[in-house]
Amino acid sequence: MDPAPTPKKREKLEAWLRYYDDLGLGVFYSDRSRTGERALQSAEPVVIAPVEATPAPKLIPPNPPPLRMPSHASVLSVVSESSLFESIDRVENDTLERIREDLGECTRCRLHKQRNKIVFGAGNPRAELVFVGEGPGHDEDVQGLPFVGRAGKLLTQMIEAMGLRREDVYICNVVKCRPPENRKPEDDEVATCSPYLFRQLEVIGPKAVVCLGATAAQALLKTKDSISRYRGQWFEFRGTKLLVTYHPAYLLRNPAAKGDVWKDLQKVMALLGIVPPKKSAR
């Protein structure tokens, strides 16, 4: 039987285990315990394990062990570099057409049972700007196109106010089938469908991604925080700038929030170098 490790060796070993856990490699070792250890949830390979404290660390040996942020700090999982798990979902010479073909007439989760049409996405396949919503509503389910109902018309107005057209951008959702009664998608439904969204974003390669609403933001940033904690802030997501703002459906219920959304869109315009059109004098 091997002798018990010395306190110094044990401390060093625990540092390496924390290091691997921060990298999302916890599934490769077992029988470990430490205070505050997060449970790894089973999901598709492309769903990146949440980060409790800081963005994904550089590959630097943990000597000393990685520093932890104060408990009062906002915790968001913002992945700025590729991880071992992210690389799994990348398909060589991938295209939107191939992704749609792989999706097929999807029956991978319960959402297919009541859907009418799959809503894959629409717009410029090389767009610099991608809008990501929560999921299709009634009108989208009927037409098979994203954001074509009342909220979609408002989104069109938002895009045009930026000096763009709908065909200049790409619009899609976290889930491709309408949740019954427009309910929020369940975590397992998001986990099942999000790999196709990740592939879409990878193929398009936009300069900016705008998450419309909390569901889209939580799916991409891997957080359960309220949208008020990160709305209007820039994050790094797979090498792309990501900004969160309110969903157009929320604006229909709360028109006073339109000013906040316009401020958010102006940040996107500044990033992309877009000059808004001048209003004609009447």
126-157 confidence digits (pLDDT tens): 999 999 999 999 999 999 999 999 999 999 99
CATH 3.40.470.10 in the chain, residue ranges: 90-272
Element spanning 123, H or E: strand 122-123
CA–CA separation, 156 vs 248, rounded Å? 10
What is the model's pLDDT at position 4?
67
Strands 240-245 and 208-212: parallel
The architecture of the domain spanning 90-272 is 3-Layer(aba) Sandwich (3.40)
Over residues 237-275, the pLDDT tens digits come to: 999 999 999 999 999 999 999 999 999 999 999 999 998
Q: Is the pLDDT of residue 42 over 80?
A: no
Please give the structure tokens belonging to residue 19: 């290091």
Kindly state the average pLDDT of the residues 193-218. Answer: 97
Whether 182 shows a pLDDT value over 80: the answer reads: yes
Local structure of residue 51 (DSSP, 8 states):
-
Q: What is the mean pLDDT of the chain?
A: 79
User: Which pLDDT tens digit goes with each residue over 56-114?
Assistant: 433 333 443 443 333 333 445 444 434 333 444 568 899 999 999 999 999 999 999 99
Per-residue pLDDT for 32 more than 50? Answer: no
Which pairs from 97-104 meet CB under 8 Å and 24+ separation?
99/196, 99/199, 99/200, 99/203, 102/196, 103/176, 103/196
Question: Which range among 52-56, 138-142, 214-218, 277-281 shows the weakest confidence by mean pLDDT?
Answer: 52-56
Asked whether residue 34 carries a pLDDT value surpassing 50, the answer given is no
